[in-house]
Structure 1
Amino acid sequence: MTATPHQRSTILEVAREAGASKTSVSRYFGDERERLSPGMQTRIATAAQRLGYRPNQMARSLKGGHSRLVGMLVADIRNPFTVAVMHGVEQACQAHGYSLMVCNTDNDAARESALLALLASYRVEGLIINAAGSPDQQLQTLVDQGTPLVLLDRELGRTEASVVGLDNALAIDMALDHLQAQGYRRLLYLSEPPEQASPRHVRLARFQHGCEARGLTGHAHDQSLEDTEALSQAIRHFLTEGDSGQKAVLCANGNVTLAATRILLASGARLGETGLLGIDELDWCELVAPGISTLAQPTDAIGRSAVACLMRSQDNDATPTRHRHAPTLIMRGSTRNTRP
């Protein structure tokens, strides 16, 4: 017997095909497979493959309380950092026998709240969240209900959860030390609005403090990338002041680096003579002459670390921790100062 393309095979049909009981088939696709003999397991597997049978994971979770699902809520699924970390999360979930369910909030706090409720209804066994808003109360309710929770990159003030992400203070220190060593003295820091994400607050504050401590002249521009005219004006104004050989632009993330590169090249700036350094390594950075220097985040390690935190959090006595990962400096031509 073979199921038609429009007909979903049932567990009873698999049992008949395998010459087994419905209970035995349930055990095979559940958590009691080892109770079946090797021969029985082979017959059931062969029958299920022949019929194209797939167990209903949602029905199993409602019955047994174990969905084997990890939820991941991201603020912007188009962000290269998010995509790269997601890959590490998915690989780690697979290694632990879990499936990953990803939801994108598009930086919309109302959508974030609705998706959190949706993930809870699917009975996810853990949640990794890159918050767009401040859903502390909703998240704390999940924590109180026993759902392991890890905050990715962005911290929230009143949620008891582990945090995994980049060591933002170290990243800015590495950037300033590198630019200063290359002879740059006047720096422009470009970021998206800091009020939307805690890492932006940390990076901006560290930049301002670090410039003062090193005797560097630092300016910051923190507006939405959608306001391209304001960003262009900020960069062009920076380029026209003082000696170009002492100037460098530091970008807070990959999206900002791309926008700044376009404007600098359109303005006729010679990269290297005017420094350019971005946080986040992107594929195109080595392709734009003379190559864009970056601070690469260990995205795969961050993703795997988030899942490891979830696994540890399944122990009710697990204490929330902070896991901050160091970036790697990739130096290319854009920070080789031709006029030291």
Structure 2
Amino acid sequence: MVTINDVAKKAGVSKSSVSRVLNGNFEHMSEEMKNKILRAVKDLNYTPNSVAQSLKKKSTKTIGIILSDISNPFWSGVLKGVQSECMRNGYGLMVSSSFEDPSVEEENILTLRNKQVDGLIVNTTGRNTDLFNELVKEKYPFVFFDRFSNDLQTDTVIVNNILGAKKTIQYLIDQGHDRIAILLYPTENKSPRIDRLEGYKQALLENNFPIDESLIKICDETNGSGIEATKEVLKLSQRATAIFSTNTLLNLEVLMGAKKLGFKVPEDVSVFGYDDYPWVPLLDPPLNTVAQPAYEMGKKATALLIKKMKSGKVQKSKIIQLEPELMIRSSCMAPKKVD
């Protein structure tokens, strides 16, 4: 097996010089020496022993990420941002999913730590506060993203979901809607859902509209629940003229529910969804959505974690809040007069 000694001997340099090149440290080194070492590495087909390097440096140059539900297409954009920042900084990535189960989340954390990842990026279930407090006490580096915890102060990257919801409802009110329904999945321990509902309520109250509980539908996280909830708000004696869907999968079920009742979008009911993808403009009609900066969220969370890992110091927790953007297309219009 070729060793670093062999490379140093062939290049006619010291082991420390070879080590510096292998670690990307070219300061105070001539271009000639660097190229001589790189040629020796190539000629000898030398591959550094990553396990030995990890033990020596106490670092595997690997980051772990735990998603709440990897089946949600929203995460593809986030993972692109995470992967981009990892590659830029020379880190590998290990991905897992908790599927919204706190026991699985705990198992993922233990598994990734056993794999000796240098730090974690977590879209938390919100139900393992004691475990994360232990990580804080150990000074183990981790960052929350997409969701935050009121019970735990740690570095977090989130989207301003209150603002996204408020801007959506204000847009619909400006179009003339005063019967606006909202569909959500259960909000317990899920800060984005809590904030979207809060933004909905704030916008109504700021426009002197009452909060009508019959227009707020908390859907089970099962296929078809959004379809039934859509039917319910459209069958009310004073039915909804607009529906705000707060989740990618609910967006499609709202459109399906309206179609099953024979309602046309936007002629009979306006629909405003959450999350934006390349296929959204291809829907019939092209759907208005709140676009989240998924790629940017992934990049910023990764950059924040890497900075935290390199610092090695306990610093005041930082919350980075990104702004959503309304994508206006063809699924909303002024309401017809409802008898």
Q: State the TM-score bracket (shorter-chain normalisation).
A: 0.7 to 0.9
Give % identity: 28
- Report SS of the residue matched to 1:307: helix
* More off after superposition, 317-326 vs 17-26: 17-26
Aligned match of 1:250: 244
User: How has the CA–CA distance of structure 1 residues 179 and 50 changed in structure 2, closer, same or farther, with 3 Å as cutoff?
Assistant: farther
C-alpha deviation, 1:267, in angstroms:
3.2
Shift of 1:168: 1.3
Equivalent runs, 1:311-322 vs 2, <5 Å: 311-313=306-308, 314=311, 316=313, 318-322=315-319
| 1:106 and 2:114 aligned | no
Q: Distance in 2 between matches of 1:59 and 1:255?
A: 46
Instruction: Give how far 1:213 is off.
Output: 4.1
Query: Measured at CA, do residues 292 and 135 of structure 1 come closer, stay the same or move farther in structure 2, by a change above 3 Å?
Result: same
TM-score (norm: length of structure 1)? 0.84
Q: Does 1:134 align with 2:127?
A: yes
Shift of 1:226: 1.2
Change (3 A) 1:262 1:16: farther
- Please state if 1:118 is matched with 2:114: no
How far is 1:137 from its partner? 2.6
List runs of 5+ in structure 2 lacking aligned partners: none
Q: How many aligned residue pairs are there?
A: 331
- The CA deviation string for residues 186-225 of structure 1, in whole angstroms up to 9 with x for no partner, is 1221111111512212222332343344315461211223
Contact 2:144 2:157 in 1 (8 A): yes
Aligned CA-pair RMSD = 2.9
Determine if contact 1:225/1:256 at 8 Å carries over to the other structure.
Answer: no
How far is 1:108 from its partner?
A: 2.3
Q: Counterpart in 1 of 2:327?
A: 330
Q: Aligned with 2:251: secondary structure?
A: helix
What's the secondary structure of 2:121's corresponding residue?
strand
**Counterparts of 2:5 and 2:314 in 1: how far apart (Å)?**
42
Q: Residue 16 of structure 1: CA displacement?
A: 7.1
Using the alignment, how far apart are the partners of 2:69 and 2:335 within structure 1?
37
- Worse-superposed segment, 129-138 or 93-102: 93-102
Aligned to 1:264: 258
1:63 Cα deviation from its structure 2 partner: 1.4
Letter in 1 for 2:273: G
Give SS of 1:334's match.
coil
Q: Deviations over 1:35-65 (max 9, x none)?
A: 7664453344334445654434343122112
Q: Counterparts in 2 of 1:61-210, with a 5 A limit?
A: 61-210=54-203
Contact 2:177/2:335 (8 A) holds in 1: no
Q: CA deviation at 1:163?
A: 1.7
Residues of 2 paired with 1:103 and 1:11: CA distance?
A: 35
Cα distance in structure 1, aligned partners of 2:248 and 2:30? 54
**Which of 272, 284, 289 is the matching residue for 1:289?**
284
**In 2 relative to 1, CA 38–312 (structure 1 residues): closer, same or farther, beyond 3 Å?**
closer
Whichever residue aligns with residue 296 of structure 2, its letter is A
Matched, 1:233 2:250: no
Shift of 1:166: 1.0
Aligned equivalents of 1:33, 1:117: Cα separation in 2 = 37
Q: Which runs of 5+ in 1 are unaligned?
A: 1-7
How far apart, in 2, do the equivalents of 1:101 and 1:59 lie?
Answer: 20
**SS state at 2:124 partner:** coil
**SS at 2:264's partner residue?**
coil
Give the structure 2 partner of residue 5 of structure 1: none
Kept in 1, the 8 Å contact 2:20–2:26? The answer is yes
| Whole-angstrom distance in 2 between the partners of 1:178 and 1:187 | 11
TM-score by length of 2: 0.84
Structure 1 residues 92-101 or 232-241, which shifts more? 92-101
